[in-house]
Amino acid sequence: MTRLIKARREKVFKAWTDAELLKQWFAPLPWTTPRADLDVRPGGSALIVMRSPDGQELPNNGTYLEVVRNERLVFTDAYTKAWEPSDKPFMTVILTFEDRGGKTQYTARVRHWTAADRETHEKMGFHTGWGQCADQLTALVEKL
Protein backbone atom coordinates (compact mmCIF):
# COMPACT_ATOMS: atom_id res chain seq x y z
CA MET A 1 0.00 0.00 0.00
CA THR A 2 1.35 3.41 -0.98
CA ARG A 3 -0.02 6.85 -0.13
CA LEU A 4 1.18 10.36 -0.83
CA ILE A 5 0.62 12.24 2.42
CA LYS A 6 0.62 16.04 2.63
CA ALA A 7 2.96 16.13 5.61
CA ARG A 8 6.71 15.92 6.08
CA ARG A 9 8.05 12.44 6.62
CA GLU A 10 9.26 13.37 10.12
CA LYS A 11 5.62 13.71 11.15
CA VAL A 12 4.57 10.44 9.55
CA PHE A 13 7.50 8.60 11.13
CA LYS A 14 6.71 10.18 14.51
CA ALA A 15 3.09 9.00 14.26
CA TRP A 16 4.45 5.45 14.04
CA THR A 17 7.03 5.84 16.83
CA ASP A 18 5.35 8.08 19.44
CA ALA A 19 2.98 5.94 21.51
CA GLU A 20 0.51 8.76 22.21
CA LEU A 21 0.21 9.59 18.51
CA LEU A 22 0.00 5.94 17.45
CA LYS A 23 -2.91 5.34 19.82
CA GLN A 24 -4.88 8.03 17.96
CA TRP A 25 -4.90 6.28 14.56
CA PHE A 26 -3.60 2.70 14.68
CA ALA A 27 -6.82 0.65 14.93
CA PRO A 28 -9.55 0.94 12.31
CA LEU A 29 -12.51 2.75 13.87
CA PRO A 30 -14.65 1.87 15.76
CA TRP A 31 -11.78 -0.15 17.28
CA THR A 32 -9.42 1.79 19.57
CA THR A 33 -5.82 1.48 20.72
CA PRO A 34 -5.79 1.86 24.51
CA ARG A 35 -2.15 0.81 24.95
CA ALA A 36 1.07 1.22 23.01
CA ASP A 37 4.43 0.43 24.59
CA LEU A 38 7.14 1.17 22.02
CA ASP A 39 10.91 0.71 22.41
CA VAL A 40 11.81 1.97 18.94
CA ARG A 41 15.33 0.67 18.25
CA PRO A 42 16.68 -2.45 16.57
CA GLY A 43 15.89 -5.28 18.98
CA GLY A 44 13.41 -3.14 20.91
CA SER A 45 9.99 -4.57 21.63
CA ALA A 46 6.51 -3.25 20.99
CA LEU A 47 3.17 -4.07 22.54
CA ILE A 48 0.15 -2.51 20.88
CA VAL A 49 -3.29 -3.43 22.18
CA MET A 50 -6.36 -2.91 20.01
CA ARG A 51 -9.84 -2.97 21.58
CA SER A 52 -13.05 -3.91 19.76
CA PRO A 53 -16.28 -1.94 20.31
CA ASP A 54 -17.51 -4.75 22.61
CA GLY A 55 -14.35 -4.57 24.77
CA GLN A 56 -12.38 -7.52 23.39
CA GLU A 57 -8.65 -6.77 23.49
CA LEU A 58 -6.21 -7.95 20.85
CA PRO A 59 -2.57 -7.60 21.93
CA ASN A 60 0.09 -7.36 19.22
CA ASN A 61 3.65 -8.11 20.35
CA GLY A 62 6.69 -7.62 18.19
CA THR A 63 10.28 -6.59 17.80
CA TYR A 64 11.85 -3.86 15.70
CA LEU A 65 14.40 -5.24 13.26
CA GLU A 66 15.47 -2.00 11.57
CA VAL A 67 14.95 1.64 12.49
CA VAL A 68 16.22 4.40 10.20
CA ARG A 69 14.88 7.68 11.56
CA ASN A 70 12.33 9.31 9.24
CA GLU A 71 13.08 6.76 6.48
CA ARG A 72 12.30 3.17 7.40
CA LEU A 73 10.82 0.89 10.06
CA VAL A 74 10.88 -2.89 9.93
CA PHE A 75 9.22 -4.97 12.63
CA THR A 76 7.99 -8.51 13.08
CA ASP A 77 5.85 -10.61 15.35
CA ALA A 78 8.33 -13.51 14.98
CA TYR A 79 9.90 -12.31 18.22
CA THR A 80 8.39 -10.81 21.32
CA LYS A 81 10.45 -8.94 23.89
CA ALA A 82 14.20 -9.52 24.14
CA TRP A 83 14.35 -11.73 21.03
CA GLU A 84 12.08 -14.38 22.51
CA PRO A 85 10.49 -16.37 19.66
CA SER A 86 6.73 -15.98 19.43
CA ASP A 87 4.42 -18.97 19.52
CA LYS A 88 3.13 -18.33 16.01
CA PRO A 89 4.94 -15.85 13.77
CA PHE A 90 2.53 -14.23 11.34
CA MET A 91 4.12 -11.29 9.54
CA THR A 92 6.94 -8.82 9.04
CA VAL A 93 6.09 -5.19 8.22
CA ILE A 94 8.33 -2.91 6.16
CA LEU A 95 7.45 0.79 6.23
CA THR A 96 9.20 3.43 4.15
CA PHE A 97 8.87 7.21 4.35
CA GLU A 98 10.22 9.00 1.25
CA ASP A 99 10.45 12.77 0.86
CA ARG A 100 8.46 14.12 -2.06
CA GLY A 101 9.04 17.87 -1.81
CA GLY A 102 7.64 18.33 1.69
CA LYS A 103 5.11 15.53 1.26
CA THR A 104 5.70 11.89 2.15
CA GLN A 105 5.39 8.85 0.00
CA TYR A 106 4.34 6.33 2.64
CA THR A 107 4.63 2.68 1.69
CA ALA A 108 3.58 -0.24 3.90
CA ARG A 109 4.58 -3.75 2.86
CA VAL A 110 3.52 -6.82 4.80
CA ARG A 111 5.27 -10.16 4.35
CA HIS A 112 3.43 -13.13 5.80
CA TRP A 113 5.13 -16.34 6.90
CA THR A 114 2.89 -18.52 4.76
CA ALA A 115 0.27 -18.18 2.03
CA ALA A 116 -2.27 -19.42 4.59
CA ASP A 117 -1.29 -16.58 6.95
CA ARG A 118 -1.75 -14.08 4.12
CA GLU A 119 -5.18 -15.51 3.33
CA THR A 120 -6.15 -15.40 7.02
CA HIS A 121 -5.07 -11.75 7.22
CA GLU A 122 -7.06 -10.92 4.09
CA LYS A 123 -10.17 -12.58 5.57
CA MET A 124 -9.67 -10.48 8.72
CA GLY A 125 -10.07 -7.40 6.52
CA PHE A 126 -6.39 -6.62 5.93
CA HIS A 127 -6.82 -4.41 2.86
CA THR A 128 -9.80 -2.48 4.19
CA GLY A 129 -8.36 -2.20 7.72
CA TRP A 130 -4.88 -1.08 6.69
CA GLY A 131 -6.42 1.35 4.19
CA GLN A 132 -8.67 2.84 6.86
CA CYS A 133 -5.74 3.15 9.25
CA ALA A 134 -3.71 4.88 6.53
CA ASP A 135 -6.59 7.35 6.13
CA GLN A 136 -6.62 7.93 9.91
CA LEU A 137 -2.81 8.33 9.95
CA THR A 138 -3.04 10.83 7.09
CA ALA A 139 -5.76 12.87 8.81
CA LEU A 140 -3.68 13.04 12.00
CA VAL A 141 -0.33 14.02 10.49
CA GLU A 142 -1.79 16.55 8.08
CA LYS A 143 -3.09 18.56 11.04
CA LEU A 144 0.02 18.24 13.28
Q: Coil, strand or helix: which one is 44? A: coil
Q: Which of 33-42, 71-80, 81-90 is least confident? A: 81-90
Residue 106: which pLDDT band, with cuts at 50, 70 and 90?
A: very high
CATH number, domain containing residue 16: 3.30.530.20
DSSP calls for 64-130: EEEEETTTEEEEESSB-GGGPBPSS--EEEEEEEEEETTEEEEEEEEEESSHHHHHHHHHTTHHHHH
Name the percent of the chain lying above pLDDT 70.
99
Question: How many independent structural domains does the chain possess?
Answer: 1
Mean pLDDT of 82-104: 92
What phi, psi does 90 have (nearest 5°)?
Answer: -125, -45
This prediction's pTM: 0.92
Residue 106, domain extent: 2-143
Q: Tell me what pLDDT residue 125 has.
A: 66
Residue 118: which pLDDT band, with cuts at 50, 70 and 90?
A: confident
